[in-house]
Chains A and B, each alone.
Chain A
Amino acid sequence: MRSFERLRVMFGAAPQRPQVIAPEVQQVHKLKRMTKADFEALKQHARDHELVNHKWRNRRWVVLIAVNLLFTLSFWLDIQILEGSLTASRFVGFHLIDLNSALQVMLAHKHIIVNLFIGTATVFVLWVVLGGRSFCSWVCPYHLVAEWFEWLHLRLAAKKLVSDHEFHRGTRTVFWVVFSLLAVVTGYTVFETISPTGILSRALIYGPSLALGWVLLLLVFEVVYSRRAWCRYVCPIGLTYGMVGAVSPVRVQYRLEHCFHEGDCRKVCLVPHVLDVVIKGRAADLKTPIGPDCTRCGLCVDVCPSGALVFDVKGLNRLL
């Protein structure tokens, strides 16, 4: 039931307060309130000894750049390890096909050949194992560029030069449905025409194109008007991988007992609605897996001063 609730939130619903909170969890919530002085002291202690690190962000950037570089070098140096671009490729001969691109092509063309099916199935299994939207933060080149421009947005916002205008998160679901319908009805892969992921990936491999102007326009929009607007409110690729990630064992886990409810994690998060659980009193369990819309980027893991958010692989502890 809770995983269903998390799915609802991914599709755009506002997070709800939990109906039932386990007794021992109520105890924790209560203790945090009733020993306020001690709690504040603990909090201060954690702050004083906080080790600022960017462990996961650095690892992620290395992986993201390495993957995209492997695409580029496979062509430029003709080393043929990862041929193609992010929409479809071959890794040492094995077909890999992006799930959203495959969906668009299947709906537009209405004819599926064996290689297309094999490539799609392989990538599906790959991202079920690796965490779904981890594609976004660990592979997608637009995510990285948008992350850099987000830094600029936050700097300008701090100086009150710009402000973040939120959209309804349900718009992404609308886009996903409409782009699917458009593919079926028009017979063209309409979304691919404006997908910054495809445009950037091709530009990195085959050289710059005028389409990069559109990507730049998106980035400027995100800086001056709405923080991370494309990833948050538009990109159907993210929603496709989010659905895949709903059953993934790789996720970030929230541990209530370690949390001081300061909310730094929600400030750095691309999808803060998945971290609704960290608000004081919201957790229904001692340990809560973060929902499928989470991109597993690890910024919250890095920023949390008390280790309340950690990467977790479901079933791995039992296995070891």
Chain B
Amino acid sequence: MNDQKSDDPAAKLAEALPAAVGQATPGAGKRPSAPVRRQANRRRFIRSALMIGGVLGLAMLGYIPVAGAHRARLRPPGALEEADFLSSCIKCGQCVQVCPVAAIKLDDVESGFGLGVPYIDARAQACDFSCDAVQCILACPTGSLTYRKPMSLATRSGMPLARAPLLKAKEKDAEPTLNLAERIGVAHLARPQACLAVQGKGFNGQTRGADFKGRLRYMDVDRWKPVAVREHPYDRDLCNLCVTECPIGDAIRMAETVAADGRKEYRPQVLEQCVGCGVCEMVCPAEPAAIVVEQRAPWRG
């Protein structure tokens, strides 16, 4: 307080008053603290250190499901490679909001760092591209889902599509292709013995039963309004739902061979234009599905 102007009346008064009035004396707080105080501070410090360790430890537990990768997920179309996808996704769910068939869901806590990250459960509801424009890519604010990937980001061979996929629904449009450069997986006849076509059987009725909630766009019903699959029964002499319901051109065909005894044999054959949308897996009447999407798998030829 000596640096105050001594002819200032207020300063003079303040000088006469004890420090408690408010005139701070530098160094007043530097008194050696009482043992009780020191102990309290030490306890607070230990508590704080434990709390930091605990919260960080819990947060890092999220790494276990990611490292184990035991829950490989099918990501929405246009997704970056998994590591880049997890790092760039901001977990906002805007992709969920724009999907006309509600194919996209957000992952929960058991996915660790994948919490809040979008995925598609193709068997329950596949992406049938009934939005035409791949709306989820359009909605993504961080480029986790993207039409065109920056050169610097990793791409495994077999992931880029040879040419822009033809969307059957847009066949008659001026621009019939989807703006999609990479696949999200590849369909695969995982259980040929369960496949009705392989067995030479037809299919009649509601695929997946009367309780199935999945929806699909049927061009002969309404181009802009996907309807419930159960409301669209089928009647096929030879089951070929995976081939006819596939939204992409040249992605799957029914291969026909003649056996030694002269009997015709059938088998769905996945082609290179398969984008991995999972519609074939959703509509497959076999339980569990004979054809499934291998999530994030490249085309192996």
> How far does the alpha carbon of A117 sit from the alpha carbon of B253 in the complex, in Å?
44
- Dominant SS among interface residues on chain A: helix
Interface string of B53-76 (1 = CB under 8 A from A): 001101110110010000000000
> How far does the alpha carbon of A233 sit from the alpha carbon of B44 in the complex, in Å?
12
Interface-side segment among A13-21, A134-142, A153-161: A13-21
Nearest-neighbour CB distance to chain B for A255, whole angstroms, equals 16
> How far does the alpha carbon of A16 sit from the alpha carbon of B88 in the complex, in Å?
42
Q: Is the CB of A113 within 8 A of B142?
A: yes
**18 A-B pairs with C-beta separation under 8 A:** A21-B24, A27-B13, A30-B14, A84-B92, A87-B90, A88-B142, A105-B88, A111-B153, A116-B141, A166-B44, A168-B45, A168-B48, A187-B83, A189-B86, A193-B62, A209-B109, A211-B115, A213-B109
Partner of A17, one of B24, B87, B115, B139: B24
Q: Which of the listed residues A23, A213, A280 has the most CB atoms from chain B within 10 Å of its own CB?
A: A23
> How far does the alpha carbon of A130 sit from the alpha carbon of B17 in the complex, in Å?
42
Nearest-neighbour CB distance to chain A for B23, whole angstroms, equals 6
The yes or no answer to B22 lying at the interface (CB within 8 A) is: yes
Partner of A202, one of B44, B84, B91: B91
The yes or no answer to A234 lying at the interface (CB within 8 A) is: yes
Residues of A within 8 A of B (CB): 16-19, 21, 23-24, 26-27, 29-30, 33, 74-75, 83-85, 87-90, 95, 97-98, 101-102, 105, 108-109, 111, 113, 115-116, 119, 165-168, 170-171, 174-175, 178-179, 182, 186-194, 198-199, 202, 205-206, 209-211, 213-214, 229, 233-234, 280-283
Q: Is the CB of A21 within 8 A of B88?
A: no
Q: Closest residue to B26 on the A side, CB-wise?
A: A19
The yes or no answer to B28 lying at the interface (CB within 8 A) is: yes
Residues of A close to B58: CB separation below 8 A: 194
Q: Closest residue to B94 on the A side, CB-wise?
A: A84
Q: Is the CB of A111 within 8 A of B10?
A: no
Q: Is the CB of A89 within 8 A of B108?
A: no
Partner of A165, one of B47, B91, B110: B47
Partner of A111, one of B29, B45, B88, B113: B88
